[in-house]
Structure 1
């Protein structure tokens, strides 16, 4: 009887661990959260470097898919795309965004050091992201709709049809970068005493007015 009870307890413990595994796996590692917060510190200065240092209404040409907003995340989640795939896409999109902003900046432009530092910190986060997941998880086949986006992002520019390009301001691109980061890695930015819905409709409406840190 004692042996049976012990077996039942063990089975119950294993079942509890099994049910908890998705939750544990979903949490962002502390080292990556630290790197994301460092990246966020840099992003908090984007108003100064991406608006004040550019001509009024200055825009750059980007892929349609590089205008990656909270509404895009919400739509793909409703279609059943999981967060790991959305995070992979976030890295792919913003890698291209940063490269394009740097490409238009002359070497002595006052925003170039800021953008170069942002890119370095982004690469640090990306490295930790890769380290924190099994290679099999990062090599799994992407859903068809996401694969189509991925292919367009990596396509040679001269092969991209004119209709697939958009013009966006550098600041709006970094605003999207920042707000989608809060949504996809929300556990790194949530206060213990307050619940935040970084992916919700209210966040989309207020995103342009208020961020985690005041811009300087």
Structure 2
């Protein structure tokens, strides 16, 4: 495994723009992602029941990363490689987890859960970075993706007030989970029938519980 510092350094770099639109998820990514999903399956208990009703935290508007954002980028950015979106997913949710942990007192009942979730996320991130050659992270991004990246990595005190939004911890982890299934769908293939995890309708209430993780 690579050192965490190497992972963080590479996350600050640039991505490969490959001609293949949907690069397959590397097989060694599936184990850490499934472990991460095991934690995410308990998000209702820890991110909803342990917080006051209507509780929200402040996040950058680009950190509210939904399936609709992925669909728009795929439509508007020519030959967008799935690898670029996967890298963006890691950057977005790195910030989301930090912000959730930051608002929790040391004795908050959800803090151990969130710390473990972040640890598993870091493990998956490390495997992802290790699974690609360094050159992958040294190429230019499409302008649209670069603008998002720059906004996410800007110093908080330099972010304009208009770029901040408020969202519940539960909704942020719902987005985290749904977009993970969409971008790494090979790791979550159903044995019963093909599932389009990028389709918002898949996650609507009323779906069979065994076809989706807990929301």
TM-score tier (shorter): 0.7 to 0.9
1:42 to 18, 39, 44: 39
Work out the CA distance in 2 between the residues paired with 1:22 and 1:72.
20
Partner of 1:110: 109
Cα distance, 1:131 vs structure 2: 1.0
Partner of 2:135: 136
- Change beyond 3 A, Cα 1:59–1:214: closer
CA RMSD, 1 decimal: 2.2
Q: What residue ranges of structure 1 are gaps of 5+ in the alignment?
A: 1-20
- Equivalent pairs counted in the alignment come to 194
SS at match of 2:127: helix
Calculate the TM-score normalised by the size of structure 2.
Answer: 0.84
SS at match of 2:123: helix
Partner of 1:78: 75
Show CA shifts across 1:98-139 (max 9, x none): 000000000010000000000000000000110111111122
Work out the CA distance in 1 between the residues paired with 2:53 and 2:200.
29
Cα distance, 1:140 vs structure 2: 1.4
Work out the CA distance in 1 between the residues paired with 2:206 and 2:34.
18
SS at match of 2:165: strand
Higher mean displacement: 127-136 or 114-123: 127-136
- Change beyond 3 A, Cα 1:42–1:132: same
Work out the CA distance in 1 between the residues paired with 2:178 and 2:55.
21
Partner of 2:167: 168
- Change beyond 3 A, Cα 1:57–1:207: farther
Cα distance, 1:213 vs structure 2: 3.0
Higher helix share: 1
Matched, 1:90 2:92: no
Calculate the TM-score normalised by the size of structure 1.
Answer: 0.84
1:57 to 54, 57, 75: 54
Work out the CA distance in 2 between the residues paired with 1:28 and 1:201.
21
Q: What residue ranges of structure 2 are gaps of 5+ in the alignment?
A: 1-18
